[in-house]
Chains A and B, each alone.
Chain A
Amino acid sequence: MTLETYGGLAAVTNLRRPPKVLDTDALPETATAELAQLLTEAAAVPQEDQAGHARDAMSYTITATAGDRVTVLEQSDAAMTPEFAALLTWLKKHFAQQ
């Protein structure tokens, strides 16, 4: 699973940063199950309409690859579903601990 962050007030610094990569095989079973549940919930809820007048909002792309199946979710700070936010926060907390 990867997390890409781009845009925002500091867009010039985000453009060249590589995505953060999480190898779910290295996670404990409970964490993998929790993450899978969050991913399923985030993918099930349609993205909200983009806020047209948002300025400097940051965007995130979460890509999950399982065999041949690839799930790509993209949302921004200015128009984010609670389900996507929960998944994003989980990932951010995970990466913060690394």
Chain B
Amino acid sequence: MSRARPINCIIPPYILDRLLDSEDSEVRQAALDTLLVTARLRGERAVRASFAGAAAPGNGRRTVFDCEQVESLPNAVLARPEDGPEVADPSVNRAFDALGLTRDFYKEVLQRNSVDGRGMRLDGYVHFGFQVNNAFWDGRQMLFGDGDGRKFKNLTGSLEVIAHELTHGVTDHTSEFEYHNQSGALNESMSDVFGSLVKQWSLKQTAEEADWLIGADVWTPGVGGDALRSMKDPGHAFDNPQFGKDPQPDRMSKFIHLPDTKRGDFGGVHFNSGIPNKAFFLTAARIGGFAWEAAGTIWYESLKASSAEDEFQDFAGTTFQKAGELFGVSSPEQSAVLSAWQEVEVPVRGVPTGVARVRSFASSANGGAGREDGLAALARQIGALNDKVTGLVKDMAALKGTR
């Protein structure tokens, strides 16, 4: 990780990393020369990471390194560069392929050039540490543990997990959702949403066909449960003796309050992400078809338009607004967004409750589409408006009386 690279030179290593991505070939060469000299002096292999990317910066070039079961990136061994052939280690190839699929999804579906939108190199480190039951994004690259083989399998085996981690990078370069409390849960939810969409896109699955699971492949067969999380049914991804029952809430009334500490999962960011996750699932299911097309676009545009401290209600409002801009005010897509947030008990600002209720969809048993009867909806809308007019008349009368 760049933070820990013990490279001693006057230019900090993170700046050299940036310079290696420069469009100016002379700048790139100078940065590369500096790193080469430094590496020769120190005899370290950390520079390999820069080498691989420097060969052709941009366009999300992939490089996979092998940590050889040590928690150290500077000593990791180059395992497969972008133009390298398949290797014997399946972990390396799985990470390489998943990085590529995620990059291609962002490029082809959302017209985004890699994590930062400017072709940032994608570096992945496999076999990180001894039996690490985790995969994470360190702010610059992805790291994959091998799992302990008893509860967790090798973390490179799950495409949506890899796409989840890379999406943390995308969020860092867009909304920068702060990683605690509700904004942190949104940060986690964005990673689940696009993690799942990458998988759906790669399998060409419709919203109805998709499993909407996160980490379906991380547990060993001995662990009961479908996955780490279910976007379709938060709170029901697992229930087993090893881990207990999935605690994710699926609506605001079940919001879990935890301390904003490491032990408290920074206010439960991996817990309460169930709420916006469910909202996305409902939106996608109600619109129907491929989730990455309409629902995914609405969420991506909203991610770009959001601010670091936004909470659920802010984001709900942004998705509602974006749905209106993209598909039209009162369009089925915007109505799907509205009803989805309503169902998870997150009100959308600026939408009168009566109108929101009228536009809502009746949920079928499987969470699929099913509009309310049009006539009944219209009658209720008129009723709601009547109530408002009556209230206004009373207010006016009261005001006149006070004069």
What class of interface size applies to chain B in its complex with A?
35 or more
| Chain A residues in 8 Å Cβ range of B133 | 5, 8, 10, 58
Q: Hey, what's the 0/1 contact readout for B166-208 against A, CB within 8 Å counting as 1? A: 0010001000000100000001000100000000000000000
Q: Hey, what's the 0/1 contact readout for B113-131 against A, CB within 8 Å counting as 1? A: 0000000000000001111
Say yes or no: B168 contacts A11, CB within 8 Å.
no
- Known contacts A77-B143, A79-B4; A7/B244 CB under 8 A: no
Nearest opposing residue in chain A for B75, CB measure: A82
Q: Is B1 an interface residue (CB 8 A)?
A: yes
Say yes or no: B172 contacts A78, CB within 8 Å.
no
Say yes or no: B3 contacts A9, CB within 8 Å.
no
Say yes or no: B72 contacts A54, CB within 8 Å.
no
The docked-state distance in angstroms from the alpha carbon of A15 to that of B229 is: 15
Say yes or no: B228 contacts A9, CB within 8 Å.
yes
* Count of A interface residues, CB-CB < 8 Å: 36
Q: Is B132 an interface residue (CB 8 A)?
A: yes
Say yes or no: B137 contacts A6, CB within 8 Å.
no
Q: Is B218 an interface residue (CB 8 A)?
A: yes
The docked-state distance in angstroms from the alpha carbon of A59 to that of B137 is: 14
The docked-state distance in angstroms from the alpha carbon of A79 to that of B136 is: 12
The docked-state distance in angstroms from the alpha carbon of A74 to that of B135 is: 19
The docked-state distance in angstroms from the alpha carbon of A76 to that of B168 is: 18
Q: Is A37 an interface residue (CB 8 A)?
A: no
| Chain B residues in 8 Å Cβ range of A58 | 132-134, 136
Q: Hey, what's the 0/1 contact readout for A47-79 against B, CB within 8 Å counting as 1? A: 011011111111100000000000000101111
Least Cβ distance of B156 to chain A in Å? 13
Q: Is B265 an interface residue (CB 8 A)?
A: yes
Least Cβ distance of B174 to chain A in Å? 13
Least Cβ distance of B4 to chain A in Å? 6
Q: Is A80 an interface residue (CB 8 A)?
A: yes
Say yes or no: B129 contacts A6, CB within 8 Å.
no
| Chain A residues in 8 Å Cβ range of B134 | 8-10, 56-58, 77
Nearest opposing residue in chain A for B191, CB measure: A55
8 Å CB contact of B248 from A12, A57, A89? A12
Say yes or no: A6 contacts B263, CB within 8 Å.
yes
Q: Is A38 an interface residue (CB 8 A)?
A: no
Least Cβ distance of A89 to chain B in Å? 5
| Chain B residues in 8 Å Cβ range of A13 | 228, 238, 242-244
The docked-state distance in angstroms from the alpha carbon of A56 to that of B273 is: 13
A-B contact pairs, 30 of them (CB 8 A): A5-B133, A6-B265, A8-B134, A9-B165, A10-B215, A10-B270, A11-B265, A12-B228, A12-B246, A13-B238, A13-B243, A15-B263, A48-B4, A51-B138, A54-B136, A55-B165, A56-B137, A57-B136, A57-B138, A58-B133, A76-B262, A77-B128, A77-B132, A78-B136, A82-B71, A85-B71, A85-B72, A88-B71, A89-B71, A96-B148
In the complex, the 4 A-B pairs of residues with the closest C-beta atoms, listed nearest first: A53-B139, A55-B168, A56-B136, A11-B270
Given pairs A55-B179, A58-B132, A59-B263, 17 additional interface contacts (CB within 8 A): A7-B265, A9-B136, A9-B215, A13-B243, A15-B265, A17-B243, A56-B135, A56-B164, A56-B165, A57-B134, A57-B138, A58-B134, A77-B71, A77-B129, A78-B138, A79-B3, A85-B129
